[in-house]
Amino acid sequence: MTAVNLFIDGDWCAGAGGERRSFFDPATGEETGTVAKAEAEDVDRAVASAARGFDVWRRWSAFDRARLLRRAAQALRDAADTIAPLITAEQGKPLHEARGEVMFAAEVTDWFGDEGQRAYGRIIPARDARVSAAALVEPAGVVAGLSPWNYPVGQAVRKIAIALAAGCPIVLKAPEETPASVAAMVECFASAGLPAGVLNLLFGDPPMISDRLIRHPEVRVISFTGSTVVGRRLAAVAGESLTRSVMELGGHAPALVFADADVGDACDTLARDKFHNTGQACISPTRLLVQDGVFAQFLARFAGHATRLKVGSGTEAGIDMGPLANARRRDAIDALIGDAVAQGATLVTGGIRPKGRGYFYPPTILSDVPVSARIMNEEPFGPVAIVNRFFDADEAFAEANRLDYALAAYGFSYDSATIRRLETGIRSGMVSINHNGLGVPEVPFGGMRDSGFGDEGGLEAMREMMVTRFVPTRQHGKDA
C-alpha cells in the first residue's frame, strides 16, 4: 500500500485534518494506497509558501533556472522505471505507454527550461532621441495548476515546467485517483534543488481547492485541464477577480479522410491515435468522416485494427490497451453506445462490456451514426470511434464545424486545394494534416470556443505565465 502526502513549502506532510482517501487499481478495482486530503488552511499555507518562493525564484537568472530544470528532466529519466508502474497501477495504461509518458515529461521539462532563456522583451524605436522605450517580459506571479487523471504525469508536468521556466512558483492541485505518480514526479523536481515553496502539491476536494486557489489574492494565473462544464465554472470564478486563465477543455475531434488520401496510412494513424490511452485523450479522433469511394476499404481496415488489439492489465506483456480509469467512464460509454444503437447506428465491433474485475472495455466502432445520437454531440472519452460516410467536401466540413468543441481536428488528402481548405476551413485550435503532429513541447497546444483558450505548448505557453511591462525612460543632462 502506497501512502501519498501533500508537498508544501519543501516538505511532505499530511493534511491539517489528518484525513486520507483511498485510490484504486482500475485493472482490479483493488485499493492500492491512500492520499492525504488538504483542508482550506493547507491551501492557504501552500499559496503563502509559493508567494515567498516567488521572491526567491524570480531572482534566479533564466540560465540558472534552465540548469535546474535540466537536472529535474534527467531525474525523471532516471526514475522512469519507477514512475511508470505507478502510472499503470493507478491509471491503467500499459507499461510501455506509461514509460513513454515519463520520458515525454522529461522532454517537456528540458524544452521549457531552455525556452525560458529566450523569453525576450524588446526595444521599441522612440519618437524622441533622448528616450529609450523597453517592453520588459516578467513572470506573472503565483500559478495555480489543476491537472487531470488521464495523463497524470504528462499533463501535470506542463503546468509545472512552463510556470517554473517563466520564473513563476506553482501550487498544483493533482487528481486524487492518480496521486502516487504525480508525487514521484514532484520529488524529481525537489531533488534537483528547487527552493522551498516554488513547487507545492495538493490533493483533496476539487471544488473547495480550486475555488480557494482561484479566489486567493496571491494567485495571478490559473491553468486548468479538464471538462468544459468545470472549465466554465472556474473561468467564471476567475473572472470575478480578473485572474488570468488558461483553459484546456474537452474535445470531439473530427477526422476527414478524402478519397485521394493514402487510405492505409490514414487508417493506421487514426486507429493508433484513437485507442492510445484507451481513448482517454482530449485530442483523440472521434468523428471519423470518410468519403464514400473509400469508405468500405477504410472501415474494414479500421475494424481489423480494433479487433487485433489485446486488452488487459497494463502490467502484462503484449497488452495494447488497458482498462478505463474508473467505473464512471465505463458506465458513461455503455450508455452512449446503447443510445446510438437504439437510434439506428451500426455496431461494427466491440460494444459489449466484459464480465469480471476491472474497468475494461473493448475497442468499439460505430458506423452510420445519426447526428441526433448523444455520442455525436458528447465527448465519449473512451475507446469508441464513429466512422461515418460523406459524399462531398461541403458535407464533411459542415459536420467537422457543427459542434462548439474546437480543440483538435485531422485531415487526410493529397490534393493541394483540399489541403488548403483543411488548413483554413476547419475552426479548431489545432488541425493536423496527413499525420498527427500535435502535442510535442515546441508547438502550441490549445483550443477555441467550448474547448477553452490559451496554450500549453510552445513559446505561446510561456507567455501565458508572463506579463509585459512598458518602461519608457527619458534621459536628462547635457549628454542626453
Dump pLDDT digits (tens) for 170-213: 999 999 999 999 999 999 999 999 999 999 999 999 999 999 99
- What per-residue confidence (pLDDT) applies to 17? 97
Query: How far apart are the C-alpha atoms of 414 and 417, rounded to whole Å?
Result: 9
pLDDT band at 1 (very low <50, low <70, confident <90, very high): confident
Q: Indicate the range of 137-141, 297-301, 353-357 predicted with least confidence.
A: 353-357
For 177, the 3-state DSSP assignment is coil
DSSP H or E run through 290: strand 285-291
- For the segment 229-251, the average pLDDT, to the nearest whole number, is 95
| pTM (whole model) above 0.85 | yes
Please give the residue that has the higher pLDDT: either 168 or 119. 168
Is the pLDDT at 476 greater than 90? The verdict is: no
Query: How far apart are the C-alpha atoms of 468 and 120, rounded to whole Å?
Result: 10
Residues 6+ apart with CB under 8 A from 94: 88, 314, 319, 320, 321, 322
Q: Grid coordinates standing for 402?
A: 457543427
Query: How far apart are the C-alpha atoms of 35 and 33, rounded to whole Å?
Result: 7
Query: Strands, E, within 140-275: which ranges?
Result: 142-146, 170-173, 199-202, 219-225, 244-248, 253-257
DSSP one-letter string for 62-78: HHHHHHHHHHHHHHHHH
Is the pLDDT at 45 greater than 60? The verdict is: yes
Is the pLDDT at 440 greater than 90? The verdict is: yes
Q: Indicate the range of 1-5, 142-146, 344-348 predicted with least confidence.
A: 1-5
DSSP H or E run through 298: helix 292-308
- What per-residue confidence (pLDDT) applies to 97? 98
Query: Where are the domain boundaries for CATH 3.40.309.10 in the chain?
Result: 253-433
- What per-residue confidence (pLDDT) applies to 439? 94
Q: Is 59 left (phi over 0), alpha (psi -120 to 50) or beta?
A: alpha
Q: How many degrees, rounded to 5, is the angle at CA 5 between CA 8 and CA 22?
A: 145
- What per-residue confidence (pLDDT) applies to 427? 95
Using an 8 Å Cβ cutoff, are 288 and 302 in contact?
Answer: yes
- What per-residue confidence (pLDDT) applies to 479? 58
pLDDT band at 218 (very low <50, low <70, confident <90, very high): very high
Using an 8 Å Cβ cutoff, are 224 and 195 in contact?
Answer: no
> What does the DSSP 8-state code read for residue 279?
G
- What per-residue confidence (pLDDT) applies to 114? 96
- CATH number of 253-433, picked from 3.40.190.10, 3.40.309.10, 2.40.30.20, 3.40.720.10: 3.40.309.10
Return the residue matching grid coordinates 485494427. Answer: 305
- CATH number of 2-249+451-469, picked from 3.60.150.10, 3.40.50.300, 1.10.10.10, 3.40.605.10: 3.40.605.10
Is the pLDDT at 478 greater than 90? The verdict is: no
* Rg, the chain, Cα only: 24
306-334 pLDDT, tens per residue? 999 999 999 999 999 999 999 999 999 99
How far lies 81's CA from each of 25, 77, 99, 175, 447, in Å?
A: 18, 8, 7, 21, 33
pLDDT band at 480 (very low <50, low <70, confident <90, very high): low
Is the pLDDT at 339 greater than 60? The verdict is: yes
Is the pLDDT at 245 greater than 90? The verdict is: yes
- pLDDT more than 70, % of the chain: 99
Query: How far apart are the C-alpha atoms of 193 and 334, rounded to whole Å?
Result: 47
- pLDDT more than 90, % of the chain: 98
Nearest of 172, 198, 166 to residue 51 by alpha carbon: 198
Orientation of helix 416-425 relative to helix 393-400, angle to 10°:
20
- Residue 270, amino acid: L
Is the pLDDT at 470 greater than 90? The verdict is: yes
Catalytic residues: 248, 282
Is the pLDDT at 341 greater than 90? The verdict is: yes
Query: Where are the domain boundaries for CATH 3.40.605.10 in the chain?
Result: 2-249+451-469
77-88 pLDDT, tens per residue? 999 999 999 999
Is the pLDDT at 383 greater than 90? The verdict is: yes
- What per-residue confidence (pLDDT) applies to 434? 97
pLDDT band at 475 (very low <50, low <70, confident <90, very high): confident
Is the pLDDT at 433 greater than 90? The verdict is: yes
How far lies 223's CA from each of 13, 243, 313, 401, 407, in Å?
A: 24, 10, 32, 26, 16
Instruction: Please give the backbone phi and psi of residue 2, each rounded to the nearest 5 degrees, phi first.
Output: -95, 135
For 397, the 3-state DSSP assignment is helix
- For the segment 255-280, the average pLDDT, to the nearest whole number, is 97
Q: Grid coordinates standing for 420?
A: 488548403
Summary mean pLDDT of the chain: 96
Is the pLDDT at 153 greater than 80? The verdict is: yes
- For the segment 292-305, the average pLDDT, to the nearest whole number, is 97
Residues 6+ apart with CB under 8 A from 287: 252, 253, 254, 255, 376, 386, 388, 399, 400
Q: Is 344 left (phi over 0), alpha (psi -120 to 50) or beta?
A: left
Query: How far apart are the C-alpha atoms of 245 and 144, rounded to whole Å?
Result: 10
